[in-house]
Structure 1
Amino acid sequence: MTDRIGSQSTSIDLSGVPARRRRAGRASAIAGGMQAALISLTLISVVPQGLAQPAPAGQAGQGTAQRQRENADAGQENERLPAPVTTHHVLPASLGGQRYAATAGSIVLSDQAGRPTAEIAYVAYSLEGQDPTTRPITFAFNGGPGAASAYLHFGALGPQRLAFGNQGDGPSKPPTLVDNSDTWLPFTDLVFIDPVGTGYSRFLRDDQDLRRQIWSVSGDIQVLSRFVTRYLTENGRLRSPKLLAGESYGGFRVPKIAHALQGDYGVGVAGLYIISPVLDFGLRSGGLPLGSAARLPSLAAAARVMRGETVTREALADAEHYALSAYIADVLSGPRDTAAVERIISKVADLTGLDRAFLARFGGQPDLNSIAHELERKEGQVASYYDALVTGIDPTPWDVSGDFDDPVLDASRAPLTTAAVDYTRRVLDYPVTRPYELLNGEVSRRWSWGAGRQAAEAMSDLRAALALDPKLTVVVAHGFTDLVTPYLESQIALNRLPATLTDPDRVRLEVMPGGHMFYTRDGSRAQLKASAERLVARVTGDAAREGEGPRP
């Protein structure tokens, strides 16, 4: 079988998107507003010291990750990953004590001429003794583009969990994995996939045209769809109920992969679980106020929590209504309408608790970087873009727009990378020596968003997939205090689905306490598991499981 790889490589016009702030050539946390926050996991990967070979003489002036990447590219064709290795484990007694198999391996994809193009690494889990015709299987993707699947793997879905991303967590936090009582494995087998350039996945040819083809919206979807098809075929799972789960840009991928599988590869998908996605980048482009409007309820949620209040969609109804009505109308009136500007400042201050003088400097529309500095400025702290309630020390408190490492994303890179490498070698017994790329900035920098003037979006694929398969069921989940991909943005996108596709039993939005990776909180992770179990039960016809737990 050959692998079809897309050829679109013309970059979309992102002139309306503020650039991310950088320090000494290294990408840092995302700044400049909602549009800039699109690629939520796109920082340059740094391999922790001791996890890679020392640099050859004469390369001391190069960055560690860059040296490793260049060295790996040079000899990649002769350095394949080891053959798949399967180990056997037991779930804790609290989860039933069932035995499960864990397989670390890779699938080599080829072009239409049969030449190898890329090697995609994966880790798969399956309960032993199950009927593959009825046992569900879920393929999981993280985002970026440029992020490995470690976030979902070790943060929420997998059988082992790493605590990260919460207040006070830092790079030196011990990378200790524990049993995950909220793993999805009791109700679905799992396959965690690292797209090309992330984790241990690599190109097999030093071919710039190939990179342009695969590192693109269309090429990425074709490659990942091909991987799913190959995995199902080679592992005897074509008859299994199939689901896709994705976070952030992975959530953008999921509807597109589902639609491609339906039409191009002859594979039906029963359920989609989409976590903290951007479903339509057009909502962030062209200088329109929808991006800042969508962020307002999330800021209001953070303010309510800081006051000790409980946050629900009902409690935020006033913020949501204002954001999508009077706020947009006043913003569109322009800065010369002083009465409109004053209304914005007054209402936003009331909803978010932000200082009126601060808001006045921005005409009531501050950028994301400035907000992160302002939220805890009096305490000398900066807030995370990924969770407004998680803060870190401001390295330059005198600079109200200074650069900083994000206290969620940057602080979690070292423990997650170390945990992933150690787990692969020690627990999965997979003898890989290739450097591990948790976050590969080269991927995001070179990503092609497609030809034409229209911004990338996944809603047309979601709409088409739902229309074609009346049994396809979708859950979109967000954290209340995520400033990178605020929940209201997905609500705006979903509101545009036709009434024939919006049965709440088929498509629903759920919002949980926390930020972009809300599952780092114990209660939200349990809520995520219960929600996913209901989805799996619905698509498999398991009425008993579908009724378990409260519906959000």
Structure 2
Amino acid sequence: MKFRSLLLACAIAAFPPAAYADAPAKDEKKAEQPAAEIPPPTVSVTKHSGRFGGTTINYRATAGETYLKDQDGKPIAAIYSTSYVKEGPVDPNRPITFLYNGGPGSGSLWLHMGAFGPKRVAIPSDARDDGAPPYPIVDNPESLLDVTDLVFIDPVGTGFSRALGKKDPKDYWGVTKDAKSIAEFIRIWLNENGRWNAPKFIGGESYGTTRSAALLNELEGTYNDVAVNGVILISTILDFAAGADTPGNEMTHILNLPSMAATAWYHNKVSGDRPAKVEDFVAQARAFAAGPYAAALLKGNALGAEERASVRQQLSHFTGLSEQFLDRADLRVLPSRFYKELLRDRGLTVGRLDSRYTGVDYDSAGEEPDNDPSFYGIDGAYAAAMNSYARQTLGFKTERDYISIGGVRGWDWKLEGAGRDQEVYMNVAPYIGRGLRENSGLRIFVGQGYYDFATPFFAAEYSLSRTGMPTDGRIQFHYYESGHMMYVREQDLKKLSADVRQFIRSR
């Protein structure tokens, strides 16, 4: 932290009262100073060529700021984005895909430099730490530029984006507030690039899937519609109440169980028969979670001893935890305890974002890990790669720091127009259902990692199978043998790219 100097106080004390007795009052002096002018947006345009999906593409990269303005035309926020547009005459049938990450409070560097941008940072694919720099920034043949133009967006408070002048950045920090600002950015981008009639896709990861649902509502829920062809949900979280790790909420235990089973399978902690494939074990865990386990939890203290013993034995089989531990936990194990307990006998913890990763704590006696090894195992590489690439390769000039994650505080979780019940039960999945019912051309891509506890795959399945969701096959689920950021595993990067590419092509 930077600390304010005491020299100012000393300097004031050194002057006698006569030296400043006739100085203007503080308010008068402040009024005399004109407001600082807001400079024009900083923009850098460069030209490149690459081979993506087996096709050579010449493209224009635009790294720069787009100003959001108030009713008087005064700039109030700068949205930083990186656009990749195929060179040549505009093809009216060529899609445009708008992408962002989550947090809330995360820049788009993860999807940009990890999955879909023309360059990516290469980190170990086998759940090892990324180590120290330099990190290799390599060509990314898995980028989607062969099938769509791409725009990576950093919301206010993330990346290089910020509020301008006297505008309070908190005016953009909320589920609805954030969605409105991104919808405004998209409309500006379509205006400036002449792409209103192009096929359009929006997509995000983690909280970015929450943003996608709210953004869909902002784009299609007004008279001035921006109709969308597809929504790409990567590591999905829509129903925050169902997955809340809070006492008395039984759904969180039900929805986390299949992820625990996948993790126990991966680390060879399954007691009894262990199927050869993780998806087979996960299928068994789903059936147990939604059946005997859910029934037992809902009985609460009325659960009989015989049924309790049967459920405890099966729960031990699926989680890899001892029956003694499960009994002490009353058959309800929060993920934070699971991370510490599963490999306690090996002196290791498992990751939250990707439970393939393991870490070593200060000691093995606690009940929760010191940190998440699946985050500190990758964050250094991504931050270095994004800063280097944006400033040097793309030529974006700024003295500001790129905020990877953590620059946003005091998020407003209330949905606009929500009643009291919706304030305490925050669920944006109904926006998806409404979008599907009112737009027959809309389709949903859902990509989930088996080893992800931040956004468990069973929770995504649950939220997208509720009343109001069409059952006509327009919601597609795809699964990957990695975690929250499935693209850190090279095999899954290729699979994710192929799956999304096919999704866009089949619009």
Tell me the TM-score range normalised by the shorter chain: 0.7 to 0.9
- The answer (yes or no) to whether the contact 1:139–1:245 under 8 Å persists in 2 is yes
Paired residue for 1:137, among 88, 96, 99?
96
- The answer (yes or no) to whether the contact 1:145–1:447 under 8 Å persists in 2 is no
For 1:370 and 1:206, locate their aligned partners in 2 and report how far apart those are by CA, in whole Å: 44
For 2:175 and 2:36, locate their aligned partners in 1 and report how far apart those are by CA, in whole Å: 25
- Cα-to-partner distance string for 1:485-543 (whole Å, 9 max, x where unaligned): 111111111211447x2222x1122211111111111111111111111111111xxxx
For 1:141 and 1:77, locate their aligned partners in 2 and report how far apart those are by CA, in whole Å: 31
Matched with 2:13 is: none
Matched with 1:305 is: 266
Matched with 2:70 is: 111
For 2:211 and 2:304, locate their aligned partners in 1 and report how far apart those are by CA, in whole Å: 42
Q: How big is the shift at 1:251?
A: 0.8
* Structure 2: runs of 5 or more not aligned: 7-34, 269-273
- Cα-to-partner distance string for 1:402-443 (whole Å, 9 max, x where unaligned): x52211223322221111111111100111211111012x52
- The answer (yes or no) to whether the contact 1:225–1:257 under 8 Å persists in 2 is yes
- Equivalenced residue count is 465
Closer, same or farther in 2 for the Cα pair 1:197/1:335, shift >3 Å? same
Matched with 2:472 is: 503
Q: How big is the shift at 1:359?
A: 1.9
For 2:116 and 2:472, locate their aligned partners in 1 and report how far apart those are by CA, in whole Å: 27
Matched with 1:249 is: 207
Closer, same or farther in 2 for the Cα pair 1:321/1:145, shift >3 Å? same
Closer, same or farther in 2 for the Cα pair 1:177/1:80, shift >3 Å? farther
Q: How big is the shift at 1:240?
A: 1.3
Question: Which is further off, 388-397 or 230-239?
Answer: 388-397
- The answer (yes or no) to whether the contact 2:99–2:151 under 8 Å persists in 1 is yes
Paired residue for 2:61, among 102, 105, 109?
102
- Letter in structure 2 aligned against 1:415: A
- The answer (yes or no) to whether the contact 1:81–1:105 under 8 Å persists in 2 is no
Matched with 2:455 is: 485
- Cα-to-partner distance string for 1:259-289 (whole Å, 9 max, x where unaligned): 3212324211101110011111131357321
Matched with 2:26 is: none
Q: How big is the shift at 1:55?
A: 4.3
2:161 matches 1:192: no
- The answer (yes or no) to whether the contact 1:101–1:125 under 8 Å persists in 2 is yes
- Cα-to-partner distance string for 1:80-116 (whole Å, 9 max, x where unaligned): 5753211111114873332111110111112234332
- The answer (yes or no) to whether the contact 2:430–2:468 under 8 Å persists in 1 is no
Closer, same or farther in 2 for the Cα pair 1:446/1:143, shift >3 Å? same
- Letter in structure 1 aligned against 2:378: S
Query: What SS does the corresponding residue of 1:484 show, helix, strand or coil?
Result: coil
Question: Which is further off, 472-481 or 123-132?
Answer: 123-132
Query: What SS does the corresponding residue of 1:284 show, helix, strand or coil?
Result: coil
2:373 matches 1:412: no
Query: What SS does the corresponding residue of 1:475 show, helix, strand or coil?
Result: strand
Matched with 1:72 is: none
- Cα-to-partner distance string for 1:209-260 (whole Å, 9 max, x where unaligned): x434321111111111111111111111112111011100101111221232
For 2:283 and 2:382, locate their aligned partners in 1 and report how far apart those are by CA, in whole Å: 36
For 2:242 and 2:432, locate their aligned partners in 1 and report how far apart those are by CA, in whole Å: 16
Paired residue for 1:292, among 253, 266, 290?
253
Matched with 2:431 is: 461
- The answer (yes or no) to whether the contact 1:140–1:191 under 8 Å persists in 2 is yes
- Letter in structure 2 aligned against 1:443: V
Aligned ranges 1:231-380 → 2 under 5 Å: 231-264=189-222, 265-285=224-244, 287-307=248-268, 310-311=276-277, 313-335=279-301, 337=303, 339=305, 340-380=307-347
Paired residue for 2:408, among 429, 436, 443?
443
- The answer (yes or no) to whether the contact 1:335–1:341 under 8 Å persists in 2 is no
- Letter in structure 2 aligned against 1:293: I
Closer, same or farther in 2 for the Cα pair 1:290/1:164, shift >3 Å? farther
Aligned ranges 1:158-173 → 2 under 5 Å: 158-164=117-123, 167-170=127-130, 172-173=132-133
Q: How big is the shift at 1:353?
A: 1.3
Question: Which is further off, 232-241 or 77-86?
Answer: 77-86
Q: How big is the shift at 1:444?
A: 4.3
Closer, same or farther in 2 for the Cα pair 1:335/1:206, shift >3 Å? farther
* Structure 1: runs of 5 or more not aligned: 1-53, 60-75, 540-552
- The answer (yes or no) to whether the contact 2:52–2:141 under 8 Å persists in 1 is no
Bigger-Rg structure (1/2): 2
Paired residue for 2:351, among 353, 374, 384?
384
- The answer (yes or no) to whether the contact 1:82–1:430 under 8 Å persists in 2 is no
- Letter in structure 1 aligned against 2:329: F
For 2:296 and 2:133, locate their aligned partners in 1 and report how far apart those are by CA, in whole Å: 46
2:491 matches 1:530: no
For 1:529 and 1:81, locate their aligned partners in 2 and report how far apart those are by CA, in whole Å: 36
Closer, same or farther in 2 for the Cα pair 1:371/1:130, shift >3 Å? farther
Matched with 2:442 is: 472
Closer, same or farther in 2 for the Cα pair 1:77/1:279, shift >3 Å? farther
Q: How big is the shift at 1:333?
A: 1.7
Q: How big is the shift at 1:183?
A: 1.0
Query: What SS does the corresponding residue of 1:496 show, helix, strand or coil?
Result: coil
For 2:55 and 2:324, locate their aligned partners in 1 and report how far apart those are by CA, in whole Å: 57
For 1:434 and 1:77, locate their aligned partners in 2 and report how far apart those are by CA, in whole Å: 18
Matched with 1:226 is: 184
Aligned ranges 1:77-96 → 2 under 5 Å: 82-92=41-51, 95-96=54-55
Query: What SS does the corresponding residue of 2:445 show, helix, strand or coil?
Result: strand
Higher relative contact order (CA 8 A, sep 6+): 1
2:356 matches 1:395: no
- Cα-to-partner distance string for 1:293-324 (whole Å, 9 max, x where unaligned): 11111111222233485435444222101111
Query: What SS does the corresponding residue of 2:218 show, helix, strand or coil?
Result: helix
Supply the RMSD in Å over aligned alpha carbons.
Answer: 2.4
- The answer (yes or no) to whether the contact 1:373–1:383 under 8 Å persists in 2 is yes
- The answer (yes or no) to whether the contact 2:95–2:200 under 8 Å persists in 1 is yes
